[in-house]
């Protein structure tokens, strides 16, 4: 049999899918790691500069931060050096449209960038990225920012001088272009300012001869209109101006000062926007009242009758849209739900219908997520709030909706970052519940309320949301250690929380899918972490009954047949892991753990 095509395969385990990008330091491909079927990024390192073949690997191998891609492997194949990295699903800041680059997205990306720079600059020795630009900043679908490409990075040290400029023209600090100039963290501050400037104006500052102008006063009226309301705030302009000073001594001098400057700019912008919205709302209200008075004076019907008939017509149109959505494909149905949200944004029916369509196949695709985000986060016509803001403020069922979205992201989302997004929805659900009832368990008269009725008790999903949010708080730390070798998260706690989820009552029949997902997560924990559980003190006496309960549940509830088979295969792998791990004499009870024949 012929071997694999060398143009398709990298090493023995990685199959090329497509090229992702190309730069001066190498070419990046999307690849599949065939043993695990996971997608990863493979970078072919190329450089003509002596001593830099392993440069990027040496820069990244000790870095661990949520905003930095993880390194999985590095090897040489047919004389070529490959670096295997985490594949980040996201869009570069340079690719965001004006509609996508909302003030919230802009400031969130800026905050996250300052945080990861502070992390890099406090390593021992400090790390300078030196090539911060919009194409190296990826915004994931969950809103998290990723800083990539360390081909130009270097370790900070007194008197650091670069032999050549590895940064990108227009974004690299002026001192990076000068032979023999001292380089420090302030060069990255310039890159941050240049990247944010590009997001607002669509051009690198170095390409617009900005050094000849005074900022922010020099921002022209045309530029302000093109960039949106953020540039109309002088604090944003002053922040960028200070980052982009030619003289490093005039920039922010450390990461704390950089972060403080950004916080001041954001607070100033939010304050001005709040004042503007208040003035706009008053103007709109005055106009509406004037129009209504003129209309009613010419109409023989009374004002109350006019309002009642208009409201009833709106409700009829709203119900018609929801019925139509039930009979259409997903994208056409989404258009109906969007129209329904515009008519009655505070009614949860349109959101419930959309979630039912998403949950129908127990797969939350990125296409479905894009539709959901558009409906949730777009400011509605004639209003100053998004549909999500109106639902959270006025819908009594918002907590349940937020919990369902948390479950969808946690168990069924196909993209990366699902658990991080889920935690935010679980927290929204908990906050909604507490706003309506107060936090359960804190009232000194709670015991007297036990029989007062369901309205005085937390909703059935409250404890599930609480435990999920707790797990999400430490999930990414499992298996990782701090600089002193101590575990950042305890597997015994993880085990207890998983069992707590499994033991919760399941009052809704449709949530059997969630129970099944919890079972799969517990079985996966056996497969992947049985050794960690054993070392954390979880005995076979605790593990075996849980495994048997999983098997019974799968036998009775795993439908359809394809899902049933998937669960059985996972159970068989968990069974083998349990038998392999808990084998100490006196503790082994493998005879009590059996597979269903």
10-residue averages of pLDDT along the chain (597 residues)? 56 86 78 85 72 69 86 82 86 83 88 93 90 91 86 78 72 83 89 92 64 36 40 74 92 92 85 56 54 55 66 86 83 86 88 88 83 85 82 86 91 84 92 64 42 60 91 87 83 91 66 76 85 86 87 71 68 83 52 42
CATH code of 95's domain: 1.10.510.10
In this structure, are 362 and 492 located in the same domain? no
For the entire predicted model, the pTM comes to 0.48
Together in a domain, 121 and 191: yes
Q: Say whether both 152 and 103 belong to one domain.
A: yes
Q: Are residues 180 and 45 in the same domain?
A: no
What pLDDT score was predicted for residue 468? 93
- Please check whether residues 46 and 16 belong to one and the same domain: yes
Q: Which of 272, 297, 322 is where one domain is finished?
A: 272
φ, ψ of residue 30 to 5 degrees: the values are -85, 125
Which are the contacts of 493, defined by CB distance < 8 A and separation ≥ 6? 474
**C-alpha to C-alpha distance for 43 and 30, rounded to whole angstroms:** 9
Phi and psi (nearest 5°) for 447?
-65, -30
Q: Would you say residue 449 lies in a domain?
A: no
Name the residue range of residue 164's domain.
90-272
pLDDT given at position 296:
52
Q: Is residue 263 part of a domain?
A: yes
- Confirm whether 576 is domain-assigned: yes
On whether residue 196 sits in a domain, the answer given is yes
Question: CA-to-CA distance for 216 and 151, rounded, in angstroms?
Answer: 33
CA-based nearest residue to 190, from 138, 237, 248: 248
Q: How many domains does the chain have?
A: 4
Helix (H, G, I), strand (E, B) or coil at 88: coil
Asked if the structure places residue 459 within a domain, the reply is no
Question: Residue 213's pLDDT is what?
Answer: 34
Same-domain check for residues 71 and 142: no
Q: Indicate whether 130 and 266 sit together in one domain.
A: yes
At which of 272, 293, 324 does a domain end?
272
Q: How far apart are CA 321 and CA 316, in angstroms?
A: 9
Question: Residue 467: inside a domain, yes or no?
Answer: no
Residue 287 located in a structural domain: no
Residue 315 sits in the same domain as residue 430: yes
Q: In the chain, what is the straight-line distance between the N-terminal and C-terminal CA atoms, in Å?
A: 37
pLDDT at 587: 47
Identify the three-state secondary structure at position 130. coil
Claim to verify: residue 51 and residue 154 sit in the same structural domain: no
- Which pLDDT score is estimated for 368? 87
Q: Are 56 and 27 a contacting pair, CB within 8 Å? A: no
* CB proximity list for 378: less than 8 A, separation 6 or greater: 386, 387
- Of 470, 471, 469, 489, nearest to 479 by C-alpha is 489
Tokens of 227: 């960039």
Asked whether residue 30 falls in the same domain as residue 167, the answer is no
CA distance 424 to 144: 12
Judge if 116 and 257 occupy the same domain. Answer: yes
Of the candidates 376, 355, 407, the one whose C-alpha atom is nearest the C-alpha of residue 515 is: 407
- Specify whether 105 is located in the same domain as 230: yes
Indicate the residue among 225, 248, 272 that finishes a domain: 272
- 329 within domain boundaries: yes
Q: Exposed/middle/buried for 237, CB within 10 Å: 0-12, 13-18, 19+?
A: buried
According to DSSP, the β-strands at 127-128 and 9-10 are unpaired
């Amino acid at each position: 049999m012929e071997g694999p095509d060398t143009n398709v395969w990298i090493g023995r385990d990685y199959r090329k899918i497509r090229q992702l990008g190309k730069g001066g330091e190498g070419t990046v491909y999307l690849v599949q790691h065939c043993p695990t079927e996971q997608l990863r990024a493979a970078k072919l390192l190329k450089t003509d500069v002596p001593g830099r073949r392993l440069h990027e690997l040496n820069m990244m191998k000790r870095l661990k931060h949520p905003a930095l891609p993880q390194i999985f492997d590095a090897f040489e194949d047919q004389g070529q050096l490959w670096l295997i990295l985490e594949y980040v699903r996201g869009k570069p800041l340079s690719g965001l449209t004006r509609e996508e680059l909302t003030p919230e997205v802009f400031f969130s990306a800026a905050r996250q960038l300052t945080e990861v720079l502070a992390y890099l600059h406090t390593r021992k020795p400090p790390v300078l990225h030196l090539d911060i630009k919009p194409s190296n900043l990826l915004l994931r679908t969950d809103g998290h920012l990723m800083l990539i490409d360390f081909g130009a990075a270097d370790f900070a040290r007194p008197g650091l001088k670069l032999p050549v400029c590895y940064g990108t023209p227009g974004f690299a600090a002026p001192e990076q272009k000068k032979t023999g100039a001292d380089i420090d963290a302030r060069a990255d501050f310039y890159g941050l300012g240049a990247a944010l400037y590009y997001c607002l104006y669509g051009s690198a500052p170095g390409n617009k001869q900005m050094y000849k102008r005074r900022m922010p006063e020099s921002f022209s009226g045309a530029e302000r209109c093109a960039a949106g309301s953020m540039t109309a705030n002088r604090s944003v302009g002053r922040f960028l101006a200070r980052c982009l000073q030619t003289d490093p001594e005039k920039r922010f001098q450390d990461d704390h000062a950089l972060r403080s400057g950004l916080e001041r700019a954001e607070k100033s912008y939010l304050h001005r926007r709040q004042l503007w919205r208040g003035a706009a709302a008053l103007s709109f209200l005055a106009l509406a009242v004037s129009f209504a008075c003129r209309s009613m004076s010419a109409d023989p019907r009374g004002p109350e009758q006019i309002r009642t008939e208009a409201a009833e017509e709106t409700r009829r149109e709203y119900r018609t849209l929801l019925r139509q959505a039930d009979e259409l494909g997903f994208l056409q149905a989404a258009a109906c739900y969007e129209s329904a949200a515009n008519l009655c944004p505070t009614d949860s029916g349109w959101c419930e219908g959309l979630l039912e369509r998403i949950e129908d196949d127990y797969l939350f695709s990125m296409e479905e997520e894009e539709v959901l985000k558009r409906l949730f986060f777009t400011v509605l016509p004639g209003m100053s709030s998004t549909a999500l803001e109106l639902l959270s403020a006025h819908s009594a069922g918002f907590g349940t909706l937020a919990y369902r979205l948390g479950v969808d992201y946690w168990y069924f989302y196909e993209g990366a970052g699902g658990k991080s997004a889920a935690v935010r929805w679980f927290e929204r659900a908990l906050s909604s519940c507490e706003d309506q009832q107060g936090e359960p368990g804190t009232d000194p008269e709670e015991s007297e309320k036990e029989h007062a009725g369901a309205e005085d008790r937390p909703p059935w999903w409250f404890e599930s949301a609480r435990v999920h949010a707790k797990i999400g708080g430490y999930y990414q730390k499992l298996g990782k250690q701090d600089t002193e070798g101590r575990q950042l998260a305890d597997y015994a706690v993880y085990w207890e929380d998983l069992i707590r989820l499994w033991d919760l009552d399941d009052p809704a029949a449709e949530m059997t899918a969630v129970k099944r997902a919890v079972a799969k997560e517990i079985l996966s924990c056996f497969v992947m972490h049985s050794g960690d559980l054993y070392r954390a003190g979880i005995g076979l006496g605790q593990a075996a009954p849980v495994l048997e309960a999983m098997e019974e549940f799968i036998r009775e509830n795993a439908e359809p047949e394809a899902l049933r088979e998937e669960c059985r295969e996972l159970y068989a792998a968990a069974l083998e892991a349990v038998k392999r791990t808990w084998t100490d004499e006196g503790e082994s009870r493998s005879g009590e753990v059996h597979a269903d024949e």
